[in-house]
Amino acid sequence: MQGAKLWNSNHRPEHVKPDLEATLKDLQLDYIDSFVIHWPQAVPSTGKSLTLRPNGCFPAHHSKNTMFPLDDEGYYCADLESHYVETWAAMEELVDLGLTKSIGLSNFNRMQVEEVLKNAKKYTPAVLQNESHPYLHEKDLRDFCRTHNIVFQAYSALGSADRPWRVAGSITSGVPKAGYEVLGHPDIAKIAEKYGKSTANVVLRWHLQMGGAFVCKSVTPSRIKENFQIWDFELSSEDMNVMDKLNIGWRHLLWAETSMHPDYPFKDCLPYDYKLGKPGVGSTAGAK
Ligand SMILES: NC(=O)c1ccc[n+]([C@@H]2O[C@H](COP(=O)([O-])OP(=O)(O)OC[C@H]3O[C@@H](n4cnc5c(N)ncnc54)[C@H](OP(=O)(O)O)[C@@H]3O)[C@@H](O)[C@H]2O)c1
């Protein structure tokens, strides 16, 4: 299966098809299976031109090597004239053109998914790809998706151990105790031992039993192989109860540096005293 995401600076309806066409060219394909809007909040493209890979975005302040334009003070810019409902209409045309089999959303909150559902003309979202792992179950959102025939697809399914949160923590719940990253949690390790499986196997099996799909990533061939070994065991209801207790609403891919945008999806996860930050190492950014 081949999937891709719409670049945040190409939300303007006239930029949507060229964005996918550039991806298809990169992949040397005529169509893909799934194309999702990466985030609901749009950032500006480069003036009047498209922001197409491989050139990326070249605004005046691209020198800081960020993915999207910065203003004079070094903060992210927002495209306030763009709204995801208009972007969705352009996404729908891609299905009719045969460039993607299905279209979906990513990092949208429930209200935003609902707004897209209400305004969709022909095609509703096939998938919602959001952060979810044993520390962030998203049960309500999963239920909402099920009722509306949307596949909930967890990203950061294994807890993204290679991202900066391990050191820098998440502004939602701080730094996990040493050794308490998702794959190192002793309760998950105990379950893994019981079945003779790895902690990654247990977490991925848990995703399956939660009823959604997931995407996980490894650059290690033996782990890629290992991550498929989840079909020959089943977590008991007691094990699922243990997993239930790990849910602490710990979201780390916040991209809070764009939270000035009215369409920013996770405002309720930001501390009341959060002050808009600049993009930087160890930041809350999901986009670096
Ligand atoms: N829609 C979005 O905004 C969004 C945001 C983030 C990610 N995603 C998608 O989600 C995918 C996964 O996210 P992610 O990479 O952040 O997180 P992840 O899959 O939860 O975690 C990846 C980390 O887990 C390690 N790992 C994988 N299998 C393992 C195993 N069996 N045992 C021990 N460690 C293991 C990897 O190490 P090694 O690679 O070193 O083996 C890597 O450090 C991405 O590829 C991306 O497509 C989407």
- d(CA 93, ligand 1 centre) in Å: 31
57-85 average pLDDT score = 73
* Number of CB atoms found within 10 A of residue 149's CB: 10
Confidence category of residue 27, pLDDT binned at 50, 70, 90: very high
CA-to-CA dists, residue 202 to 88, 146, 161, 175, 223, angstroms: 36, 23, 16, 23, 13
Residue bearing the CA closest to ligand 1, atom 47 = 215
Whole-angstrom Cα distance, residue 276 to residue 259? 7
Q: What is the pLDDT of residues 159-194, one digit of tens each?
A: 987 776 666 666 666 555 555 688 989 999 999 999
Query: What pLDDT band is residue 248 in, cutting at 50, 70 and 90?
Result: confident
Instruction: pLDDT band for 271, please (50, 70, 90 cuts).
Output: confident
Report which of residues 227 and 69 the model is more confident about.
227
Rounded distance from Cα 131 to ligand 1 centre (Å): 11
Q: Is the link from the previous residue into 279 a cis peptide, with omega within 30 of 0?
A: no
Would you say the CB of residue 199 lies under 6 angstroms from ligand 1?
A: no
Q: What is the distance in A from the centroid of ligand 1 to the CA of 187?
A: 21
| Terminal-residue alpha carbon distance, the chain | 25
Domain boundaries, given as residue ranges, for the chain? 1-125+253-288
Other residues' Cβ atoms within 10 Å of the Cβ of residue 72:
7
The verdict on the CB of residue 163 being under 6 Å from ligand 1 is yes
Ligand 1 pocket check for 288: Cβ under 6 Å: no
d(CA 107, CA 11): 14
Q: Is the pLDDT of residue 282 over 70?
A: no
Distances in Å between the Cα of 128 and the Cα atoms of 10, 13, 134, 197, 258 are: 19, 20, 18, 29, 20
Predicted structure pTM score: 0.92
Given pLDDT bands bounded at 50, 70 and 90, which one contains residue 288?
very low
Does residue 223 line the site of ligand 1, with CB under 6 A?
A: yes
Its sign, for the CA torsion 132, 137, 139, 141, is negative
Is residue 233 exposed (0-12), middle (13-18) or buried (19+ Cβ within 10 Å)? middle
Query: Is the Cβ atom of 107 under 6 angstroms away from ligand 1?
Result: yes
6 Cβ inside 6 Å of ligand 1: no
What ranges in the chain are assigned the alpha helix state H?
13-27, 84-96, 110-119, 139-147, 165-168, 186-195, 199-210, 221-226, 237-244
Tell me, in angstroms, the distance from the centre of ligand 1 to residue 215's CA: 8
Q: Is 22 in the pocket of ligand 1 (CB under 6 A)?
A: no
Instruction: Say whether domain 1-125+253-288 belongs to CATH 3.50.50.60.
Output: no
pLDDT of residue 47 exceeding 80, the answer is no
- β-pair partners for 170: 174
